[in-house]
Amino acid sequence: MRGVGLVMLPVVLAAIAAGCTTKKDEPPLATREQLLDPKTCTKCHADHYREWSGSMHAYASDDPVFRAMNKRGQRETGGALGKFCVNCHAPMAVRDGKTTDGLNLDALDPKYKGITCYFCHSIDNVDGAHNASVRLSDDLVMRGEYANPVANDTHRAGYSVLHDRDQADSAKLCGACHDITNDHGANIERTFAEWQASVFSKLGGGDTCSQCHMNQSPALRPIADAPNVFSREYHSHAFAGIDTALTPFPEADAQKQAVDDLLKTTLQGSVCVEASGNNSAIAVVLDAAGDGHAFPSGSAQDRRVWVEVVASNAGQVVFQSGVVPDKTSVTALQDPNLWLLRDCMFDDQSKEVRMFWQASSFEGNALPAQVTFDPTDKAFFQSHIVQYYPRDPKNNLIRSAIDHVQVRVRLLPMGYDVIDDLVASGDLDGAVRDKLQIHDVFSMEWTADAVAPSNPNKFTDADTALTAYCASNPAGFSGAADKVPAVNHTKCAP
């Protein structure tokens, strides 16, 4: 995602050291045990460590929702879930035999918690496209994107195409943990596959995971505090995505700000009012043009993204959809026009299930990633998704004129209904519920000024045969362009 979903893997490297001296060709002094500990990195990479320490990578095995789901999954599967969750959330603990199921994380040394510097920078091969299918070297070489790392007396350093954000292969490293398939073959997370199908996977015009999720500093700077280290491109290790920490954690304010900043680059769209006398309809068009994958992505079965539409005339509300009371689950809303973006999961009997280990299939309706940057290609508009309000404007119109419409796209990284289910099963502390933060990802406003004759977004809607007047964000986005109807879930709850 210039954006969405998701958190990605580190790529920057130079000297990390006790002492940080530079003695070329001498053997590394740090042992594997020392390199396993992210705090070893602080002596030379203080900024990298600080950013990482507040990231969802560092938080991965402390996250109470992860803990609750893993605990419940182990219980409900009789332990068969095994290392499935912790293999990504505490990978070094699994690889060093410190845990087999993640139920003993509190007893582990902190260096075995989360996704650590050593884990990411020791990867020397990607063996598969999902479920943490990566191979770690045992040579104590810390791999990065620089072909000319500075020699140092703590670790050997080497170039790796997997860590080079400007190479398409670097996405494989991220994708290995950001595509997840459960034991029933259900693809419960598909971020990497979504990116592969998008225009963003095409070098020369696209972006890799790290190019979006690891912001590059505007100026060259030393990436390590050590002798002989010269200025290079510096890349953030905050890994902003969608999620934020739900319990006290370092860098919390910076983390939330980074997520909000990233989400604001994700969507564009139009809101159009279509009229027939004093009867009206509203068309909302959304395009995840700034996302390198679908929106929402990652654990889309747990995410809740919905569109809030409020239309008024002379100051009186004449239509609304997606208006959710505070602290209320959007899935509980009785709203026939609700546009809710999420995955639904089903067991092998096609019965809806809530937890990923129960799923054999899924139904998704996320906004798709862009497949081409060429506006002369019809495929360019496949990501222009339209939802009408009311949903069937040919047979059902708003019985009023409209002079103002406000649209917001709202996001909860974890739905209240998911949290409530985990609390009800006794696996999660209910206090977590109050820590959830709704992000207002995108907004648009339409006023009666949009009907001015000079409005370039005036057109006859072929789907409704009504005259439409549109306002867009950004202004150049065309509500009149080709569109694809929104997919609304048919087999699961709203």
Per-residue model confidence (pLDDT) at position 205: 64
Q: Which residues pair with 159 in a beta bridge?
A: 144
DSSP letter for each residue of 361-374: EEEE-PBPPP--S-
Q: What phi-psi label fits residue 19: left (phi over 0), alpha (psi between -120 and 50 degrees) or beta? A: left
Closest CA to 180 of 64, 66, 53: 66
pLDDT exceeds 60 at position 312? yes
For 242-282, the pLDDT digits (tens) are: 999 999 999 999 999 999 999 999 999 999 999 988 899 99
pLDDT exceeds 70 at position 68? yes
pLDDT exceeds 90 at position 15? no
For 205-230, the pLDDT digits (tens) are: 679 999 999 999 999 999 988 888 99
Please, what is the average pLDDT of the chain? 91
Cβ atoms within 10 Å of 81's Cβ, excluding its own: 23
In angstroms, the CA 38 to CA 61 distance is: 15
469-476 average pLDDT score: 93
pLDDT exceeds 50 at position 10? no
Per-residue model confidence (pLDDT) at position 3: 37
Q: Which residues of 266-277 are buried (b: 16+ CB within 10 A; e: fewer)?
A: bbbbbbbbbbee
Per-residue model confidence (pLDDT) at position 28: 53
% residues pLDDT > 70 (the chain)? 93
Q: Which residues of 98-113 are buried (b: 16+ CB within 10 A; e: fewer)?
A: bbebbeebeebeebbb
Name the residue with higher pLDDT: 17 or 337: 337
Tokens of 311: 């239309």
Per-residue model confidence (pLDDT) at position 262: 95
For 108-151, the pLDDT digits (tens) are: 999 999 999 999 999 999 998 899 999 999 999 999 999 999 88
In angstroms, the CA 399 to CA 422 distance is: 42
With beta carbons less than 8 A apart as the criterion, state whether 470 and 458 touch: yes
Q: Which residues pair with 475 in a beta bridge?
A: none
Tokens of 57: 């990578």
Closest CA to 159 of 141, 147, 168: 147
Per-residue model confidence (pLDDT) at position 352: 94
Q: Is 267 helix (H, G, I), strand (E, B) or coil?
A: coil
Q: What phi-psi label fits residue 375: left (phi over 0), alpha (psi between -120 and 50 degrees) or beta? A: alpha
In angstroms, the CA 124 to CA 120 distance is: 9
Contacts of 5 (CB under 8 A, 6+ apart): 178, 191, 241, 242, 293, 296, 297, 298
438-445 average pLDDT score: 96
